[in-house]
Structure 1
Amino acid sequence: MIDSHCHLDLLAQKKDLRVALESAKAAGLTRIMAPSINPESWQALQALSERYESLLSIDTALGLHPYFLTCSELEKPEQTLKESLRQLEAATANLHHSVKALGETGIDGHISVPLALQKEALHNHLKLADKVSLPVILHHRKSHHLLVEALKLANYQGVGVVHAFSGSIEAAKGYIERGFYLGIGGTITYERAQKTRNTLGFLLEHHFDKLLLETDAPDMPMCGRQGEANEPRYLSDVVDVIRDCYGVPLKEIVSTTTVNYTRLFNIDAGSEA
């Protein structure tokens, strides 16, 4: 199994990371994508990918998460963003071998970060992703229409993944038509998430080749695990729901999502054989 979205640097603040990764490997994980949140996390994640490469493969992404575009009322967010974007472009000029994408970037409709700032950051990520031919990892919350608008405005020609997807069938089709993949995570482990479960049923039948598995650890706890830090080993909870609710064999879930991941992030398929 591959966890396509796990914040390893944040998980390390809550858990013994070696223990967590050993548990993940024991649960059947072979690979993890670790998206970043700010410039400080880029090198930290790259160092983690080297430190634990004997346990499992860790891919990383360079990005500016919308949550962290502002840090205090005293700073000048526009100036800070400009400098961070400059650092992002410089980092893409000499990529660490673990870097397979740009992100996490996107738009969140529930935070106090100015929407204009989020849009500017996203636009620059998309233009840079096209320039360096890397996929993007997109964050959304009450913002599907704004993400589609941003993709059009940037005339984005590349691919990517909408992580923690929880939208309608129409929203899903809109992204897939643009070449995007959809990350499926802990939301589907909750019975109340009927809309997302209905959409997933449609996707499994018609667009299984566009689905990825994810935990978003240490956040987004699985049903029954509320109150504790999420971990990549709990990816099996997502797989179990897909198997039990939709009748898809475990082997097919793992093999298909693994192929999807390697295709999206341009990973040598032989490394996951």
Structure 2
Amino acid sequence: MFLVDSHCHLDGLDYEKLHGGVDDVLAKARERDVKFMLAVACTLPGYRAMAELIGDRPEVSFSCGVHPLNIEGGYDFEELRTQAADARVVAMGETGLDYFYQKEEALIKLQQDSFRHHIRVGRELNKPVIVHTRDARQDTLDILREEKAGECGGVLHCFTEDRDTAEQLLDLGLYISFSGMVTFRNAEQIREAARYVPLDRILIETDSPYLAPVPHRGKENQPAYVRDVAEYLAVVKGVSLETLAVATTQNFSRLFHVDAARLA
């Protein structure tokens, strides 16, 4: 069986106390059939540091982007394009909108401009966008539609919205990724959406080191725990773990243009 963690922040794990380096994290993941992962950046300096930390490992690909909560000081749009053009980078982001923490009009405008730029670069480079949204549902959908994000593809990661939002995202051609939050006791809205989303449009992720799934809540999350997300989601969907693993791995390959031979 082959599982993929489609969204993790490998540079955010506690390597001093919990892990003996990147190889240790990858070994723990392999023990639970998690054999590939996408390491996601949140700033441009963060991307460079993460790429240096991980190096060229066949079981890890990268995204390059600036998180909406990390753009207050601005950044060089051309530098984003240059870094994202690297062959190791398979996606733009994470990008998107987050109005939960930033409610000032000027910062919201910065977020929207950045989001649009990520999509435009994604369309130019034919690399999908990894989308973060919080308290910004309609603006997120509007920008995805206006910027024709379906042309490069994308995924709403760590999905926390409702079934209607899922339907609109699917209509735009995007994928939907479920994290450990789907296992939380009060997450029935997420589970309802998960039942609705077809198997050929689902991804799974940890978003580690955040949001560890049950039964690991309260601990640092890590790629190995995407197995717990997969097991739970398979029950929600009424399919076998093997069926879910095959579908989500194929979806990852298709969306991020990662050779299926690397995921076999």
- Tell me which residue corresponds to 2:241: 250
Within 2, Cα distance between the matches of 1:253 and 1:224?
20
The alpha carbon displacement at 1:49 in A equals 4.0
Query: 1:229 aligns to what SS in structure 2?
Result: coil
Equivalent residue for 2:152, pick from 158, 172, 176 = 158
- Tell me which residue corresponds to 2:180: 186
Query: 2:235 aligns to what SS in structure 1?
Result: helix
- Tell me which residue corresponds to 1:37: 42
- Tell me which residue corresponds to 1:208: 199
- Tell me which residue corresponds to 1:73: none
The within-5 A match list for 1:221-232 is 221-232=212-223
Pair 1:146 & 2:136 matched:
no
Query: 1:201 aligns to what SS in structure 2?
Result: helix
The alpha carbon displacement at 1:43 in A equals 2.0
The alpha carbon displacement at 1:182 in A equals 0.4
Within 1, Cα distance between the matches of 2:10 and 2:81?
23
| TM-score normalised per structure 1 | 0.88
Query: 2:116 aligns to what SS in structure 1?
Result: helix
The alpha carbon displacement at 1:197 in A equals 0.7
> Which structure 2 segments of 5+ residues have no match?
none
| More deviation, 176-185/235-244 | 235-244
Letter paired with 1:256: A
- Tell me which residue corresponds to 1:198: 192
| More deviation, 242-251/28-37 | 242-251
Within 2, Cα distance between the matches of 1:135 and 1:33?
13
| More deviation, 97-106/236-245 | 236-245
- Tell me which residue corresponds to 1:21: 26
- Tell me which residue corresponds to 1:74: none
% same residue = 27
Coordinate RMSD, CA, aligned? 1.7
- Tell me which residue corresponds to 2:69: 67
The within-5 A match list for 1:162-177 is 162-177=156-171
The alpha carbon displacement at 1:228 in A equals 1.7
The alpha carbon displacement at 1:12 in A equals 4.8
- Tell me which residue corresponds to 1:105: 95
Deviations 1:54-103 (A, max 9, x none): xx510101100112113xxxxxx3xxx2x4323102224xx333210110
Query: 2:34 aligns to what SS in structure 1?
Result: coil
Whether the aligned pair in 2 keeps the contact of 1:49 and 1:57 (CA below 8 Å) is: no
> Which structure 1 segments of 5+ residues have no match?
71-76
Query: 1:30 aligns to what SS in structure 2?
Result: strand
Within 1, Cα distance between the matches of 2:245 and 2:256?
17
Within 1, Cα distance between the matches of 2:258 and 2:148?
26
Query: 1:5 aligns to what SS in structure 2?
Result: strand
Whether the aligned pair in 2 keeps the contact of 1:66 and 1:118 (CA below 8 Å) is: yes
Within 1, Cα distance between the matches of 2:193 and 2:145?
24
Within 1, Cα distance between the matches of 2:14 and 2:82?
27
Query: 1:223 aligns to what SS in structure 2?
Result: coil
Whether the aligned pair in 2 keeps the contact of 1:49 and 1:98 (CA below 8 Å) is: no
| TM-score normalised per structure 2 | 0.90
Whether the aligned pair in 2 keeps the contact of 1:46 and 1:96 (CA below 8 Å) is: no
